[in-house]
Amino acid sequence: MCMAQEKTNTLVNRIIFVLSLLGIAMAVYVLQGWLRQSSILCFTGGGCDIVRKSPASYLFGVIPVPAVGLIGYSILAILAFLRTTKLANRYSLIAIRAMLGMATFGVLFVSWFTYTEIFVIKGICTWCVISAVNMIIIFFLTLMSLRDRSDGEAISQKPRSPRPSGSR
């Protein structure tokens, strides 16, 4: 992988890490409102309370949706952090693939929940929308990082062409 591509990949990974921390902060804030059953700041009027009070905002009827976000963003943050350690060179491709899997799950989950908010609950939680956009950005950054990493490995593993006989 060339130096410029490596720097870009490092920057993208740091952005993913920061966005994951932002996701954790949002999930903790919203989750505390869910657990206390109290109102949280909502920029769309009472949409967050409408969503929070709905049985559809609990996965399997028991797990608050923000808890799922907290777990997902935590896994993404850990994987992004691991990509910055000494093990990064050896396990970076595995970590980025795991991040892509987690981000894909995240995008599918926020898509399902956004649909549920609009058509089942009939309320929009601003924090949920911000989290959905955040997860989509992480997904595309992860795709970009994987593409760059895969291209770099493909280039470095390119087989050498055999020398014609008689040449040095």
In order of start, what are the domains of the chain with their CATH numbers?
A: 8-150 (1.20.1440.130)
Compute how many other C-beta atoms are within 10 angstroms of the C-beta atom of residue 132: 20
Among candidate residues 116, 109, 114, 40, the one with its CA nearest the CA of residue 72: 109
Note the pLDDT tens digit of each residue in 53-62. 999 999 999 9
pLDDT band at 159 (very low <50, low <70, confident <90, very high): very low
Note the pLDDT tens digit of each residue in 66-95. 999 999 999 999 999 988 876 666 777 788
Q: What predicted TM-score, i.e. pTM, was given to this entire model?
A: 0.83
pLDDT band at 163 (very low <50, low <70, confident <90, very high): low
